[in-house]
Structure 1
Amino acid sequence: MKYTMIIACMCRLLLTVTLQAQTVKPSNNPLDVPLGDPFILFDAPSETYYLYGTGGTENGFVAYKSTDLKSWEKQGVVYDAKQDKAWGTKDFWAPEVYAYGGKFYLFYSAHWKDNPTNELENYRIGVAVADQPAGPFIDRDGEPLFDPGYPIIDANVYFSDDGKLYLYYSRCCYKHPVKSAIARWAKKQGWYEEIEESWVYGVELAPDFSGIRGKPKLLLRPPTTLEDQQAEWESRSVTNREVNRRWTEGSVLFKHQDSYYMMYSANHFAGEHYAVGYATAKHPLGPFKKSAFNPVLQKNTDKGGIVSGTGHNSVLQLRDGRRLCVYHGRTTATGDQRLVFIDEMTITPAGKLIVNGPTTRTATE
């Protein structure tokens, strides 16, 4: 009981630190930060924001820092796989960093070197720790956090009010063909023999980040029928003949009043149709119901804009309660290079989540 109370107090302290982030406006979009899957940590003692993401170095991660969310200074490599405890060999993706118990913990995805059957996508989730938000981060155990028996990516951690911790991740599409109306339709067109899917799972996380508690629970997946109102936008990678896969990935959880909001990304991360939706629940492990207003963030090139491929977001909550949607996208000027965007997001009194983006204008104080 005493240990549970200590963990609960630490979680409340972490939430307080998050809420005490400076009241600022988003900067110009896109930022001059060439990363995908962006995540921002606010370090209260230094009054500094740290931005992490996919890219910037080979087999590792870099960080940028800012005091105003406008001007960003590169900090160099904060995690490098050239270390004794490294278990990953390539494809280092989706870093998220959490301040916890006086340390900083980096959750990330990578290709596991333990690969006796030579799988092409042998991804797992790892945890590295550092004394400072700019690292260096050192792997905790020399192996992944856990092995569910299938490839997984995109870790996100939620610190519950009751002291429990929850881990969310995405099962990869790799070798995961799923029967659905879209799969039958694509086969009838002569396009694809099968459609692989990625699904979002959640599970309780051990308080010391040493592993998971219980069995992972399926929370979100692409729709199986054409009548489902999510089917059109979550199937665009297939219907536009980009690839024989449908994704549900890049999940992030936060609480608003008495509801849990899970934002997630669908479609091919390298394509123009990458977009964000959300679902709500009354418990961190669901059941979740997808919003009728999805997608809440998507390309605007079909409406005269210059942004596409918007997705894999994180959420930064400011001291005044406002939330910022931090995501990556591409522009007609920058081509395939993913860049970081920050836009404000709101939730109406009726509970509707709105992302005010993608924008490419200058936000003023």
Structure 2
Amino acid sequence: MNVYNAASDIANPGAGYKLADIPAHDPYVVADKATGTYYLYTGGSPKLHGMDYYGVLAYRSRNLEDWDGPYVVFRIPEGVWANPQHGAWAPEVHAYGGRYYLFVTLHNNDRPLEGEAHGSGYRLHWRGTAIAVSDSLDGPFELVKQDAPIPPEHLMTLDGTLHIDDEGTPWMVYCHEWIQTADGTMEAVRLKEDLSDRASEPVHLFSGSEAPWDNGEHSPDSARSTYVTDGCQLYRTSGNRLVMLWSTYEEGSYVQTIARSVSGRLEGPWEQLEPLVFDDSGHGMLFQTFEGNWMLILHSPFRMPESRCKLYEMTDTGATFRVKAARTDLDGSRVDNAAD
């Protein structure tokens, strides 16, 4: 096994890495059948990866066990609404209209928003998901909108994902930050057909406090409790049920959970199901292997640089997805922290 050397990776991508070797947050996997290659996308930073600016990295694998990389597929350019030195979160890549679209949360801490932040030490500033496009999964990706994020810029948002509804209309589903709302929410905006901008006002889907357990932070010196919403991802089961993966907390520990639309439509209403994985694990997404098996990839623990990707084989019950087995043989972890 090669030893992960973050300082040299940008100039000299390596081979033979295991997921346990790679610091990663908010992982996203694309299974490219044309080349028989799995692409893993995660954020890249100056501190951890020696980059000049924040951006997005990709790793590649043929078997989900041995990975090469990282390769830089996106760097935040100068002269746009986001500050290249302030972070790139939750990258994910979607095939759409014959091209590949990168959704990534960017920041500008120097552009404040009006209002009072919830939570000690936080302040409201520009944060939202941008969209960039490329003709290749290897990038480079270029922003389609440079003056503002896709969701309304007066909202502090993150973790935008692409959803195509039954009519073929593209949507961005995203999280509205608890820092601004206290009770974080899931919201959606309809997108223009070419994904260049939003085409509607936000639609409320559900609130973080609707989790089926007490996931709030109840500070004695705070006027309101706070509830986190993170990492939304939408899928159809074999029974045509629309479900959403999302993440929140339980007593300070990250949790991977799942919700289901009662109506089968994005607008809901949404019902909250039992969590999938506990023990400071979350921001997961589902993908199918080249053999047709459903897999969940997430990160655990929450904090970088300790965070690593974990893999779980999943069962599609028709009504929802459930954890079948932790794939420690692939990711190198030793603890099965799936919900019973």
Give the TM interval when normalised to the shorter protein: 0.7 to 0.9
Distance 2:329 2:31 in 1: 24
CA displacement at 1:267 relative to structure 2: 1.9
Contact 1:112 1:124 in 2 (8 A): no
Aligned-pair distance for 1:152? 0.4
Determine which of 192, 215, 222 is the counterpart of 1:206: 192
Q: For residues 166 and 324 of structure 1, what CA distance do their matches in structure 2 show?
A: 24
Cα separation, 2, equivalents of 1:362 and 1:38 = 15
CA distance in 2, matches of 1:357, 1:238: 34
CA distance in 2, matches of 1:133, 1:111: 24
SS of the equivalent of 2:136 reads: coil
Alignment of 1:81-92 (within 5 A): 81-83=76-78, 85=80, 87-89=82-84, 90-92=86-88
State the Cα distance separating 1:285 from its structure 2 match.
2.3
Letter aligned with residue 258 of structure 2: Y
Displacement of 1:217 in angstroms is: 1.7
Q: Which amino acid aligns with 1:339?
A: R
Question: How do residues 223-242 of structure 1 correspond to structure 2 at under 5 angstroms?
Answer: 223=209, 230-232=212-214, 234-235=215-216, 238=218
247, 253, 260: which one aligns with 1:273:
253
Aligned to 2:119: none
State the 1:84 CA deviation: 5.0
Q: CA deviation at 1:65?
A: 0.7
Alpha-carbon distance between aligned partners in 1 of 2:45 and 2:60, rounded to the nearest angstrom: 14
Tell me if 1:344 matches 2:339. Answer: no
Which residue number corresponds to residue 216 of structure 1? 202
Q: 1:316, CA displacement in angstroms?
A: 0.5
TM-score, normalised by the number of residues in structure 1: 0.71
The offset of 1:45, in angstroms, is 2.4
Deviations 1:260-289 (A, max 9, x none): 011110028xx9610011111111221111
Q: What root-mean-square deviation, in Å, do the aligned CA atoms of Structure 1 and Structure 2 show? A: 3.2
Q: Deviations over 1:319-353 (max 9, x none)?
A: 5543111100039xx9851111111111335x253
State whether structure 2 residue 152 is matched by structure 1 residue 170. no
Identify which of 243, 246, 264 aligns with 2:227. Answer: 246
Secondary structure of the equivalent of 1:207? coil
Where 1:37 maps in the other structure, the secondary structure is coil
Aligned residues: 295
- For residues 12-43 of structure 1, give each alpha carbon's deviation from its aligned partner in whole angstroms, at most 9, with x where no partner exists: xxxxxxxxxxxxxxxx9853221100001122
Q: Any residues of structure 2 matched to 1:104-115 within 5 Å, and which?
A: 104-112=100-108, 115=111
Structure 1 unmatched runs, 5+: 1-27, 177-195, 300-308
- Name the counterpart of 1:261: 243
Partner of 2:99: 103
AA of the residue aligned to 1:290: Q
Which amino acid in structure 1 is aligned with residue 59 of structure 2? Answer: Y
Give me the whole-angstrom Cα distance separating, in 2, the residues matched to 1:317 and 1:207: 26
Give the TM-score taking structure 2 as reference length: 0.76
Shift of 1:134: 1.4
Distance 1:322 1:171 in 2: 32
Deviation at 1:251, TM superposition (A): 0.8
- Return the match for 1:48 from 34, 37, 51: 37
CA distance in 1, matches of 2:309, 2:212: 26
SS in structure 2 of the partner of residue 283 of structure 1? coil
Query: Where does the alignment leave 5 or more consecutive residues of structure 2 unmatched?
Result: 1-16, 47-52, 115-122, 333-340
- Distance change >3 Å, CA 98–CA 88, structure 1 → 2: farther
Q: Deviations over 1:136-164 (max 9, x none)?
A: 11112213224252100001112334322
Q: CA deviation at 1:255?
A: 0.5
Of 296, 314, 321, which aligns to 1:353? 321
User: Helix, strand or coil for the counterpart of 2:155?
Assistant: coil
Q: Structure 1 residue 159 and structure 2 residue 164: aligned?
A: yes
> What is the aligned partner in structure 2 of residue 142 from structure 1?
146
Taking CA–CA contacts closer than 8 Å with sequence separation of 6 or more, which of the two structures ends up with the larger relative contact order?
A: 1
In structure 2, how many angstroms separate the alpha carbons of the residues matched to 1:79 and 1:145?
Answer: 18
Task: Identify the match of residue 129 of structure 2 among 107, 125, 130.
Answer: 125
Q: Deviations over 1:58-87 (max 9, x none)?
A: 411111011111111114221111345563
Contact preservation (8 Å) 2:65, 2:331:
no
- For residues 148 and 297 of structure 1, the distance between their equivalents in structure 2, rounded to whole angstroms, comes to 33
- Superposed displacement of residue 168, structure 1: 0.8
